[in-house]
Amino acid sequence: MRSDRSQSAPLGLKIAATCGLLFLHLPILLIFVYAFTTEEKSYQWPPPGLTTQWLAVTWNRPDVWEALSLSVRVAAISTLVAMILGTLCAAAVSRSRFFGREAVSLLVILPIALPGIITGIALRSAFSLTEIPFSFWTIVLGHATFCVVVVYNNAVARFRRTSGSLIEASYDLGADGFQTFRHVVLPNIATALLAGGMLAFALSFDEVIVTTFTAGQQQTLPIWMLEELIRPRQRPVTNVVAMVVVLVTLLPILLAYYLTRDGDQVAGSGK
Amino acid sequence: MSIAAVTATRDAPASAILPARGGMLGALSDLFWRRPRFLLVLMLMPPLLWLGVVYIGSLLALLLQSFFSIDEFSGLINRQFTLKTYADLLQPANFDIIVRTVTMAALVTLASIAVAFPIAYYAARYAQGRWKALFYLAVMLPLWSSYLVKVYAWKLILAKEGILTWFLAKLHLLWLLDGWLALPYVGGNSLSVSATGTFIAFVYVWLPFMILPMQAALERVPGNLVEASSDLGASPGQTFRNVLFPLALPGIVAGSIFTFSLTLGDYIVPQIIGTSRLFIGQAVYSQQGTAGNIPLAAAFAVVPIVIMAFYLWGAKRMGAFDAL
């Protein structure tokens, strides 16, 4: 019944699909050209000349390093919290049926299903009602909340594929619960957890909408960039940072894809 | 083991087969085995506490604030139940913001469907093997690339001195651009400060969210249905209208949940690329920030929640959730 597979696509469809993919990719490639332009004051195209001096200028900017360091610390801790909470939740939901199971899945997905601004304003109004001052931890609180879902999705998909009889066999052979977890469950879900963790890191590293509501005076890298976009100080530095951000987020995504590619649900399909 | 011993330990079946484990960890492990519910509760407790307290708690705080009002003279928040803040939403200036945002969200969704369909259809029906993986990555990488960088890229493209103007000048089509910019509502000084620019950037940023569920739905349409339709004499257009589109509809609706919801809540795209006319997200942001009117910001934030609740209800009836 799959004889249609050998057919080639109509020309119109090919052209439309190619144009669509170009539309998705050319703008990002453009960032790479602008990172090397000699033009400082405007977004002039074509670039009047090419230079690598802005890489050095960016390297020597302390504010960029501070923002980068804050972003990495926030992403690392949020990812850790999200991995623990997401895995626990996925294990509970996939190993047994209980009352309110659907509600638990909905609760996990909600922070990412509702627009970011709602999560942001909700957290801010909660902070203002309870008079919690803004700090590093208020940023982490927000980030961990929406990162849980990424870890959860990956872990649930893997648990679904892991056969329950493996765990029973382990018990039958005399292993206790902790030994079973250490030697049977963990090796089975490890790559899915790693993929989920990397996606959570990428999500947190890039998040800007919720962060503007929970950050106070501190600047994560996306907040720094947003400031530069609204009130540009040194455009070429922004260009270089944009290029670096693209390259840095590319790696965990490709790695997460590679780790889960034979699965029934590949990492990243639900952002 | 004697029968008496078995009956004596009937309450603890595990120890009837194996001797109880020594040590605290062993005892704990036995407890988990005998009482799976206990382990379940233990596992669910941390995530539910976190999400319940941090997230649901915050949403309730938001809802609560939207029933407060602000004293217009002192600027202090009056913590008494009132519907006055919601009535403020109906003032022409505020209501315009809501209408503008919903219109933009609808237009962005329609455009995303049109651009996403060929990509999703090609990936679902014609791409195979390595090409399929390549297609998947080609959609996923832009999805996960930095959101701000994507918006910034369009600022570069749409700028007056940018690549688009240069390209149109090469094609001798500048008159077309100037004509478009002269139009009311959609035009402006340059594309990067016009509603058209906001629209293009929105479509670009949310497009992958439409492609993925659409492709998932199209994968499930059997190819022989399309062939049967053309064997029975339908033109490609008729096949699309009567066979392909209705079968792909749940996936399209699922994708539209994302494009619609994300456009409703976004405040960064219209702030960077767009006119000075506000969208809901910007209204929320400026009301809670510079204006200090958290009740009105909260009421504004409730609008997308209500709209999305209706949208999700309709989508569920169309079977969109099976396509996710």
Q: What is the pTM of this model?
A: 0.84
Residue of B nearest to A179 (CA): B29
Which pLDDT belongs to residue B321? Answer: 65
- Which CATH number characterizes residue A179's domain? 1.10.3720.10
Determine the Cα angle at A72 with ends A68 and A75, to 5°.
135
CA–CA distances in Å: residue A68 to residues A36, A61, A73, A74, A221: 21, 11, 9, 10, 5
Tokens of A266: 């590949």
Query: Picking from B78-82, B237-241, B250-254, which range would have the lowest pLDDT averaged per residue?
Result: B78-82
Which pLDDT belongs to residue B4? Answer: 45
Residue of A nearest to B154 (CA): A27
Q: Do B141 and A116 touch (CB under 8 A)?
A: no
Residue of B nearest to A23 (CA): B204
Distance, in Å, from the CA atom of B99 to the CA atom of B97, rounded to the nearest integer, reads 6
- Span B168-225, pLDDT tens digits: 999 988 888 888 888 888 888 888 889 999 999 999 999 998 998 888 888 888 888 8
Count of CB contacts below 8 A, A vs B?
A: 272
Tokens of A65: 């390093």
- Span A137-192, pLDDT tens digits: 999 999 999 899 889 888 888 888 777 788 888 888 888 888 888 888 888 888 88
Q: Read off the pLDDT band of A263 (50, 70, 90).
A: low
Tokens of A106: 């909905």
Which pLDDT belongs to residue A267? Answer: 55
Distance, in Å, from the CA atom of A92 to the CA atom of A95, rounded to the nearest integer, reads 6
CA B240 to chain centre: 27
- Span A202-248, pLDDT tens digits: 889 988 889 988 888 888 999 999 988 888 888 888 889 999 888 88
Q: Do A125 and B294 touch (CB under 8 A)?
A: yes
Which of B156, B224, B284 is nearest residue A117 as measured by Cβ atoms? B284
Tokens of B73: 């003279």
Q: Check whether B117 has a pLDDT greater than 90.
A: yes
Give chain A positions within 8 Å (CB) of B139: 24
The number of domains in chain A is 1
Domain B86-323 classified CATH 1.10.3720.10?
Answer: yes
Give chain B positions within 8 Å (CB) of A117: 265-267, 281, 284-285, 301, 304
Q: Do B153 and A108 touch (CB under 8 A)?
A: no
Average pLDDT of chain A, as a whole number: 84
Task: Find out whether B1 and B18 touch, Cβ atoms under 8 Å.
Answer: no
**Is A247 a domain residue?**
yes
Q: Check whether B159 has a pLDDT greater than 60.
A: yes
Q: Read off the pLDDT band of A1 (50, 70, 90).
A: very low
Give chain A positions within 8 Å (CB) of B20: none
**Is A123 a domain residue?**
yes
Distance, in Å, from the CA atom of B321 to the CA atom of B324, rounded to the nearest integer, reads 5
Give chain B positions within 8 Å (CB) of A43: 155-156, 159, 161-162
The neighbour count for residue B87, using CB atoms within 10 Å, is: 11
Which of A8, A13, A116 is nearest residue B118 as measured by Cβ atoms? A13
Q: Read off the pLDDT band of A2 (50, 70, 90).
A: very low
- Whether B266 has its CB under 8 Å from any CB of chain A: the answer is yes
The neighbour count for residue A186, using CB atoms within 10 Å, is: 12
Measured in degrees and rounded to the nearest 5, phi and psi for residue A37 equal -75, 150
Q: CA of B92 to nearest chain A CA: how many angstroms apart? A: 23
- Whether B57 has its CB under 8 Å from any CB of chain A: the answer is yes
CA dihedral A152, A157, A158, A161 (to 10 degrees): 150
Residue type, A77: I
Mean pLDDT of the A34-63 span = 84
Give chain B positions within 8 Å (CB) of A122: 55, 58-59, 61-62, 301
ipTM over 0.85: no
Q: CA of B265 to nearest chain A CA: how many angstroms apart? A: 5
Residues 6+ apart with CB under 8 A from A209: A116, A117, A120, B265, B266, B267, B268
Mean pLDDT of the A20-44 span = 88
Q: Read off the pLDDT band of B106 (50, 70, 90).
A: very high
Domain ranges of chain B: 1-34, 86-323
Q: Read off the pLDDT band of B3 (50, 70, 90).
A: very low
Which of A25, A117, A174 is nearest residue B142 as measured by Cβ atoms? A25
Taking the alpha carbons of A176, A177, A182, A183 in that order, is the dihedral positive or negative? positive
Distance, in Å, from the CA atom of A220 to the CA atom of B148, rounded to the nearest integer, reads 13
Which of B36, B57, B304 is nearest residue A115 as measured by Cβ atoms? B304
Distance, in Å, from the CA atom of B41 to the CA atom of B48, rounded to the nearest integer, reads 10
Distance, in Å, from the CA atom of B319 to the CA atom of B324, rounded to the nearest integer, reads 10
Residue type, B307: I
Tell me the DSSP string of A159-175. Answer: HHHS-HHHHHHHHHTT-
Q: Which domain holds residue A76?
A: 61-260
Tokens of B300: 């504004």
State the greatest distance between any 2 C-alpha atoms of chain A, in Å, as a whole number: 73
Q: Do B57 and A14 touch (CB under 8 A)?
A: no
Distance, in Å, from the CA atom of A217 to the CA atom of A204, rounded to the nearest integer, reads 18
Give chain B positions within 8 Å (CB) of A232: none
**Is A74 a domain residue?**
yes
What whole-number percentage of chain A has pLDDT above 90?
A: 21
Which pLDDT belongs to residue B8? Answer: 44
Task: Find out whether B298 and B63 touch, Cβ atoms under 8 Å.
Answer: yes
Give chain B positions within 8 Å (CB) of A266: 136
Q: CA of B206 to nearest chain A CA: how many angstroms apart? A: 10
Which pLDDT belongs to residue A268? Answer: 55
